[in-house]
Amino acid sequence: MTFTPTACPRLVVKIGSSLLVGDEGAVRREWLETLVADLVERRSAGQQIVIVCSGAIALGARRLGLSHGGRRSLDDAQAAAAAGQIALSQCWAELLGAHDIAAAQILVTLGDLEDRRRYLNAAATLDRLIGLGAIPIVNENDSVATEEIRFGDNDRLAARIGQAARADGVILLSDVEGLFTADPASDADARLIETVDAIDGDITAMAGSSSGSGLGSGGMASKVEAARIATTAGIPLAIISGIEDHPLARFAETRRGTVFTAEAGANARKTWLAGRLTVHGCITIDAGAVDALRSGKSLLPAGATGVTGAFARGDVVEIAGPDGAKIAHGLAEYDADTAARIVGHRSDELGDLLGYAPRAALVHRDHMVLL
Ligand code: GLU
């Protein structure tokens, strides 16, 4: 499947520190304005945008007077991230605000996206923000993430956000043009690889070179790893140069970069959902709900008739029809006990029943695959 970033409905764009932050440790604002202009143009054409943006550590290092771009120790990086994130958020709020677009900051850790409940929360928030016309700006919550729960680089974060946001494409803007057969700085025969259909040993070996700037943490290896995460979930990923002004418009024109293709979306997503998770319980539904699910709707409590098994929010459950036939698999929005309390109830009764603002669906259509 060809990946057309200009046409895909929901796109994640990742901006690395070395592009965003100049030599003096300040935001390259003029360049960023040209990228924002590209993003605004895409958005006017109906494309939904999520941004993953690095640069907090590099910006904060300057503000706090830390050496080595704030990366001398984990403590330094975490302090720098805290000080830099404020500047980063302010910058996005101003630049998008100038186009009447609300910037919305989300900071996540690896743990947030690995934990199934918090994954669902992040997915719902991203969806809601996009629905409200805001542009989510995501970064790693570096200041609280310990070594074990850090992404460490925003390339992999961008791929995981692509999954959580059910994006149709991820673009990594980089200080290189893409994946080369050898290091182009030292090998005149080095050739840009335009399309990668399978990430095999050869591709991993070619990814040996690293980002030259020293500001960011992700080299080509982390970009290829991000491509593996995204394509496994059915999302194509492109690595393109962000060095020049208007990088997205330029890519749309030249197509220069490396595109990692993915299997056809629905199938890959189904495999991914099916592959990583075991079924923890079952929700039985009535005939009306079977029809609703088959026409692409979410499963609402009103259509459910019973719950079996012990599952937590975010676990995979089976959904079965009145005759016991398996209809779908999906991630439960409620744990088994709560689900049992609300089956058969209309959505407008849930708030009173539960005593808190409820999720509308028992299983949201975005986290469901029909069998
Ligand atoms: N999250 C880090 C920051 O904002 C950057 C991680 C990376 O270099 O990819 O500075």
Q: What is the CATH number of the domain that holds 184?
A: 3.40.1160.10
More confident: 157 or 118: 157
- Asked which of 251, 271, 291 is the last residue of a domain, the reply is 271
Which pLDDT belongs to residue 251? 94
| Bridge partners, residue 330, by sequence | 317, 368
Confidence band (pLDDT; 50, 70, 90) for 24? confident
User: What is the rounded average pLDDT of the residues 188-215?
Assistant: 77
| 235 lies in the same domain as 357 | no
Instruction: Look up residue 18 and give its two tokens.
Output: 């070395």
What pLDDT was estimated at residue 55? 94
- Quote the radius of gyration of the chain (alpha carbons, Å): 22
Q: Which two tokens stand for residue 248?
A: 């997205």
CATH of the domain at 352: 2.30.130.10
Read off the pLDDT of each residue in 77-104 and give the average, rounded to a whole number. 96
Residue bearing the CA closest to ligand 1, atom 7: 153
Q: Does the CB atom of residue 57 touch ligand 1 within 6 A?
A: yes
Which residue type sits at 300? L
Closest by Cα among 103, 88, 106, 105 to 21: 88
Q: Which atom of ligand 1 is nearest to the CA of 151?
A: 6
| CA distance linking residue 19 with residue 120, whole number of Å | 31
For residues 150-178, average pLDDT: 91
Ligand 1 atom 6 nearest Cα: 153
Contact yes or no for 81/43 (Cβ under 8 A): no
**Residues 358 and 250 both lie in one domain:** no
Query: Which of helix, strand or coil describes residue 249?
Result: helix
Statement to judge: residues 51 and 144 lie in one domain: yes
- pLDDT band for position 135 (50/70/90)? very high
- pLDDT for 127 beyond 90: yes
| Domain end (from 271, 303, 320) | 271
Mean pLDDT of 58-70: 93
Q: Examine the pLDDT at 212 and tell me if it is beyond 80.
A: no
Asked if residue 319 and residue 242 are part of one domain, the reply reads no
Check residue 279 and give its pLDDT: 84
- Please say which residue of 271, 298, 317 terminates a domain: 271
CA of 70 to the centre of ligand 1 (A): 11
Q: State how many domains the chain has.
A: 2
Q: How far is CA 238 from CA 76, 171, 231, 260, in A?
A: 32, 5, 11, 6
pLDDT of residue 211: 41
State pLDDT tens for residues 235-266. 999 999 999 999 999 999 999 999 999 866 55
Mark whether 354 and 209 lie in a shared domain: no
Residues 153-178 have a mean pLDDT of 92
Write down the pLDDT at residue 200. 86
Q: Check whether residue 179 and residue 291 sit in a common domain.
A: no
What pLDDT shows up at residue 4?
Answer: 74
Residue 103 has pLDDT above 70, yes or no: yes
137: pLDDT strictly greater than 80: yes
Residues 230, 247: Cα–Cα separation, whole Å: 21
List, edge to edge, every strand of the sheet that includes 304-309.
304-309, 279-285, 316-320, 326-332, 363-370
| Overall pTM > 0.75 | yes
Out of 9-23, 54-68, 73-87, 182-196, which region has the weakest mean confidence (pLDDT)? 182-196
Same domain, 121 and 249: yes
Q: What is the pLDDT of residue 213?
A: 43
Structure tokens at 155: 């390339």
Q: Are residues 127 and 207 in the same domain?
A: yes
With a 6 Å cutoff on the Cβ, whether 216 touches ligand 1 is yes
Cβ–ligand 1 distance for 54 under 6 Å, the answer: yes
Does 113 or 107 have the greater pLDDT score?
Answer: 107
Assess whether the C-beta atom of 56 lies below 6 angstroms from ligand 1: yes
pLDDT attached to residue 210: 44
C-alpha–C-alpha distance, residues 11 and 235, integer Å: 10
For ligand 1, say whether the CB of 217 is within 6 Å of any of its atoms. yes
Instruction: Give 119 Cα–ligand 1 centroid separation in angstroms.
Output: 20
- The C-alpha atoms of residue 155 and residue 178 are separated, in whole angstroms, by 13
Looking at the fold, whether 287 and 248 belong to one and the same domain comes out as no
Residues 124 and 11 in one domain: yes
Beta strand pairing call for 237-241 and 258-260: antiparallel
Same domain, 26 and 111: yes
Query: What pLDDT band is residue 86 in, cutting at 50, 70 and 90?
Result: very high
Is the CB–ligand 1 distance for residue 218 below 6 Å? yes
Residues 291, 333: one domain? yes
**Domain of 283?**
279-370
Tokens of 258: 């490396």
How far is the C-alpha of 258 from the C-alpha of 156, rounded, in Å?
16
Average pLDDT value for the chain: 89
Most confident of the ranges 58-72, 94-108, 140-154: 94-108
pLDDT digits (tens, 9 = 90+) for 307-351: 999 999 988 899 999 999 999 988 899 999 999 999 999 988 998
Atom of ligand 1 nearest to the CA of 53: 4
